[in-house]
Amino acid sequence: VALAEDHYARTYGQAPAPPGAGIRERLERILDGSLARLEAFYGLPSRGPDTGGTAGLKARTMAARAAAMDRVFHSPARWKGMSPLERGLARRTAAEAFFLDRHQQLVDLGEYLDPAYAGSEGSETSPDRLIEIAQNLWDLANRLEGGDIASRCRDFRKDVVLRVGAPVDASRREGEGSRTAARRVLSDLHRAFEDLASKHSAQ
């Protein structure tokens, strides 16, 4: 976090969190600054720090991602209608958006990092959770270096466990509206998943 603060301060003139701030608060300041870089580049309205709802960090991240993809990918009709110079400019803009997307990926990963997830000091944290935290930290450092998912660390062994729960009836019942049916099915799925998860944790 200290290295990221120093980088954003030197490169973008972004002030770090005030002295005495916790790691999560310092990280949130970095994430907000990263999004601000993208919003300025794409001409998006910056809503400032996460305030929840549509103005939350996730909404800002998705808006920046959509703006990047709009510059990287072009429909065949749009591409065909461009002059050679316009295509050259489009390629340049796509290259800029491609590398600027590392800011968005940094925010996407940084959302998951919270010291509280590791448990309170002195508590016993499960090995799976420690591995998850280590992987997320590695991913964050990788994005700061300009890397992407293709160069992700594969040192941690992964095992797939497939568990099948009871079937859920997804058909619409007589007299039931589509929205009511959708809410019921989602509720049944959630309940079945929680039941399956609780049985697994009890083993």
Predicted confidence (pLDDT) at residue 51 exceeds the cutoff of 60: no
Residue 81 has pLDDT above 90, yes or no: yes
Is residue 49 predicted with pLDDT exceeding 60?
A: no
How many Å apart are CA 107 and CA 57, to the nearest integer?
8
pLDDT (tens digit, 9 = 90+) per residue, 83-119? 999 999 999 999 988 888 888 888 888 887 888 888 7
Give the CA distances from residue 183 to residues 170, 173, 193, in Å, rounded to whole numbers and listed in that order: 11, 12, 15
Can you tell me the distance from the alpha carbon of 56 to that of 60, in angstroms, rounded to the nearest whole number? Answer: 6
Tens digit of pLDDT for each residue in 154-202? Answer: 776 667 778 888 888 888 888 888 888 888 898 999 888 888 878 766 5
What pLDDT score does 70 carry? 87
Instruction: Measure the CA–CA gap between 76 and 97, rounded to whole angstroms.
Output: 19
* Residue 54 in this model has a pLDDT that exceeds 50: no
pLDDT at 183: 87
Q: What is the pLDDT of residues 14-33, one digit of tens each?
A: 888 888 888 888 988 888 88
Determine the Cα–Cα distance for residues 105 and 108; give it in Å rounded to an integer: 5
In contact, 67 and 103? CB cutoff 8 Å: no
pLDDT tens-digit map of 66-77: 888 888 888 888
pLDDT, one tens digit per residue, over 130-158 is: 888 888 888 888 888 877 777 777 776 66
Residue spans of the domains in the chain: they are 2-151, 160-203
pLDDT at 122: 66
Band the pLDDT of 43: cuts 50, 70, 90: confident
pLDDT higher than threshold 90 for residue 13: no
Contact 50, 75 (CB under 8 A): no
d(CA 117, CA 131): 12
Class of residue 133 by CB neighbours under 10 A (exposed 0-12, middle 13-18, buried 19+): middle
